[in-house]
Structure 1
């Protein structure tokens, strides 16, 4: 009995060459719709599925392969005498190869003018059914959803007369992954249309972007996956120069980009181990970088610097004087790029525009925590001056700046700022007084006249008391402690102005 292949693809890459080779090896080729017409136009002797089933395509093509003569040929256990008998009694021939990919649902919903009706019409039914049937019966059927696998299948058939079972098993795995991802995209699209944020079950679809040399540490294996649908930020950066990005590079660069998004004015953000070590705004990015560098010229070594404006040659010259792992900007002057490219290993990333709403995910043993991203800045109507003194216009500007930065510092977090730049950052301590002392020590004399931002409230007046000793003049914090009065009294005693925001920014 001659072997048979069913070919019906939405993406036609490589399919004509694959079909020709199967035809030359004596396979009867079944096909449908546009794939059938393409193969016939290219001189391949394809047979319409409707000629096999004896039933026409109906309902505008919605029903064409959902038929016992197709699925019987896919699902029959060839070694089972009862199955063989039933195939013969019903005039069903086995199908040995299935090459199918699905209606372009992803491409459809990414269109700006897509309607719900368009999306629904691009949900494939017959394709996933054939893929799953073939994959389930991998002991006998070869299923292909990826054009990259066509050549391997042809080579094995030429060498062995059939594909190897281990290959069919591997391709079955890929097939179920393909349909799972497809269904996940549909599910999440419909969740969005129904306004459901936290459903009873949750699935996400990601596609591997690259294998990493290793993970957070050299003994850990790792890979980088991008959102299957649409993504921005680090996942869409274009590497213009330098070595491949490591696991930690990507994680740190993401932290820099997330903080950079907070600013509309020209800004420079320096990050080390996902914590900012220097942040500044100015009239231009050259001045912004100089200020950010001054905040912590030690920690910036081996770090990441990100800008929200086109990088110029003068700023590139300053960057070239220090060792940096990554430099990120939305664009680069030609001269600036030439200067930076002289450093062989520095990674230069071009940042893409755009935004997509995503969940913030935190993996825990045996589960996952899912939340909205923390994208709140300040609610002006909730800002409350709780001290006798109110902040000056200059202080208020620096308080707003410091609040943007402290949101991106690991809790417990304290940020000191002055004149649009951080002068001290305390991160990730188990109590609030330690990061306060750390930030003041880092700032030195620059602490005098600076403002202080805290990501959470003060359980004791000790932070205010330390701020007073350092000459800090204004504080912004969420408020809400049962001991707020103690901190307010301490601020009034020191002549420090203090604002409560009514919101906090834990970042664990």
Structure 2
């Protein structure tokens, strides 16, 4: 008796040769909609099934398909028997304004019922399994373990579909909590990376949906060539660029209070035409700068410390051109990412086989932070609030230049490992400390770091500039300490930190006596 197979696929990879194999082996193919049209265009005979059409006029047609699947039996010669079901969906295609009960929902109902009778069915949802299925069909030896494996993959796929439908409902519901009872946002595996962080580790990449920046134009194509450390560094650096432009692409303001309780609004300069460059190594920022053009921003990123860039990832918010490419090739970067590269830049950088070029959109993306724990993982909303309010604690207000540099510095420390501190000078990172055991240790380290870098810069640029930095930024509250006093003696003119310690008055008094602006934000940016 002729065996029957239902074929209805969104992912059409390898479906033509698999269908040709089935027909040549005497199978009858049942299908509908685009899949039916595709098979017919390849001269593959198809029997139309109205229960497999998107616009179902009679739900009984689908119920009849389900009935046949539930009653199919390997030992039966019934003409209703269906032996193979090949259905795959794209559950991650979340269309704006789409109906909650989407056109594909009836297909998941068919698949769920396949599970009930999976020992009598071969249920295929992944093109990667077609080859093994063909071998077992050809040898007439379909194992129970293979059937169970396939139905497990089917359940995994429809759980992702259900997850995205649930996510759509919650997203539009005024009653929904930020954290649902069951976390069911689907992520799709796109493949293993070249290596884990260490040789003994493996790593795999999952993407949330088709709009995720890595999916279409970069990692989905080249993930096999990227080790885990590059993927994480690119992701971390990209997050800083996105956050910066999310705040400062247009006019950004923050409510502020003077030391005499006078309330006003602090305005930050929009970054229209500004280029942000950043270097990251093992999720640690080792250089960052803002400038009017890409070349100057690149130079400023590494003005004070060029020793650590070997093996780093370099990110840029603007197109990389020929001039910048000629400078980049002089350094030993592992990867460069930008919105695009000119043809000349690609030719220059392409000569260095050790540099990966990654084209990635820098559009803003807000999400969640997750931390795996013993029996699950902790999830929290991402820390994307740069400032809520400014409290100007000194008699002097910050100048516009200092305001913008404070914002730039806070953006850098807010996702560094606590305790952290940075020194900014002329919109360039000139000192950095991250992951110290206390805020005082962070300031001690950032002072020593900046002194070394400043001395190196004086030698290389033949300058007698005595100012170490313009602005000090801390992610947690800091007391007045010897290192801060030394920084002020070396030209530091503005400090921004959360504040709120018992000895704040001593700090404020010292800053007033030395004409240093002190701003409290009233909020920490603790990060592990």
Are the structure 2 counterparts of residues 269 and 353 from structure 1 closer, same or farther at C-alpha, using a change threshold of 3 Å?
closer
The separation in 2 between residues aligned to 1:485 and 1:64, in whole angstroms, is 78
Aligned to 2:461: none
CA contact (8 A) 1:234 1:351 kept: no
Are the structure 2 counterparts of residues 260 and 183 from structure 1 closer, same or farther at C-alpha, using a change threshold of 3 Å?
same
Aligned to 2:258: none
Are the structure 2 counterparts of residues 214 and 459 from structure 1 closer, same or farther at C-alpha, using a change threshold of 3 Å?
same
DSSP 3-state at the match of 1:5: strand
Aligned to 1:253: 234
Aligned to 1:65: 62
Task: Give 1:476 deviation, angstroms.
Answer: 0.6
CA contact (8 A) 2:241 2:362 kept: no
Out of 296, 312, 330, the position equivalent to 2:321 is: 312
CA contact (8 A) 1:72 1:92 kept: no
Normalization by structure 1: what TM-score? 0.85
Are the structure 2 counterparts of residues 311 and 33 from structure 1 closer, same or farther at C-alpha, using a change threshold of 3 Å?
closer
Task: Give 1:214 deviation, angstroms.
Answer: 2.8
Task: Give 1:270 deviation, angstroms.
Answer: 1.2
Say which is worse superposed, 421-430 or 481-490, in terms of deviation. Answer: 481-490
CA contact (8 A) 2:72 2:83 kept: no
CA contact (8 A) 2:3 2:27 kept: yes
The separation in 2 between residues aligned to 1:164 and 1:144, in whole angstroms, is 14
The separation in 1 between residues aligned to 2:83 and 2:344, in whole angstroms, is 59
Out of 478, 498, 501, the position equivalent to 1:458 is: 478
Aligned to 2:121: 141
Aligned to 2:88: 101
Q: How many residues align?
A: 485
DSSP 3-state at the match of 1:423: strand
Q: Is structure 2 residue 412 aligned with structure 1 residue 405?
A: yes
Normalization by structure 2: what TM-score? 0.82
The separation in 1 between residues aligned to 2:325 and 2:223, in whole angstroms, is 15
CA contact (8 A) 2:311 2:332 kept: yes
CA contact (8 A) 2:50 2:56 kept: no
The separation in 2 between residues aligned to 1:7 and 1:433, in whole angstroms, is 66
DSSP 3-state at the match of 1:98: strand
Task: Give 1:410 deviation, angstroms.
Answer: 1.8
Task: Give 1:148 deviation, angstroms.
Answer: 3.9
Aligned to 1:503: 523
Task: Give 1:223 deviation, angstroms.
Answer: 0.9
The separation in 1 between residues aligned to 2:215 and 2:467, in whole angstroms, is 34
Are the structure 2 counterparts of residues 464 and 315 from structure 1 closer, same or farther at C-alpha, using a change threshold of 3 Å?
same
Aligned to 2:496: 476
Aligned to 2:254: none
Q: CA RMSD in A?
A: 3.3
Aligned to 1:438: 445
Deviation sequence 1:368-390 (CA, Å, 0-9, x none): 222222222334xx222101333
Are the structure 2 counterparts of residues 95 and 311 from structure 1 closer, same or farther at C-alpha, using a change threshold of 3 Å?
same
The separation in 1 between residues aligned to 2:81 and 2:367, in whole angstroms, is 45
Q: Is structure 2 residue 407 aligned with structure 1 residue 387?
A: no
The separation in 1 between residues aligned to 2:367 and 2:2, in whole angstroms, is 50
CA contact (8 A) 2:499 2:520 kept: yes
DSSP 3-state at the match of 2:401: helix
Q: How does 1:339-354 map to 2 (within 5 A)?
A: 339-354=348-363
Q: How does 1:73-152 map to 2 (within 5 A)?
A: 73-74=69-70, 93-102=80-89, 106-107=92-93, 109-110=94-95, 114-117=96-99, 119-125=100-106, 127-152=107-132
Structure 2: which 5+ runs fail to align? 246-270, 455-465
The separation in 2 between residues aligned to 1:383 and 1:138, in whole angstroms, is 63
Are the structure 2 counterparts of residues 41 and 62 from structure 1 closer, same or farther at C-alpha, using a change threshold of 3 Å?
farther
Q: Is structure 2 residue 370 aligned with structure 1 residue 361?
A: yes
Aligned to 1:336: 345
Q: Is structure 2 residue 278 aligned with structure 1 residue 269?
A: yes
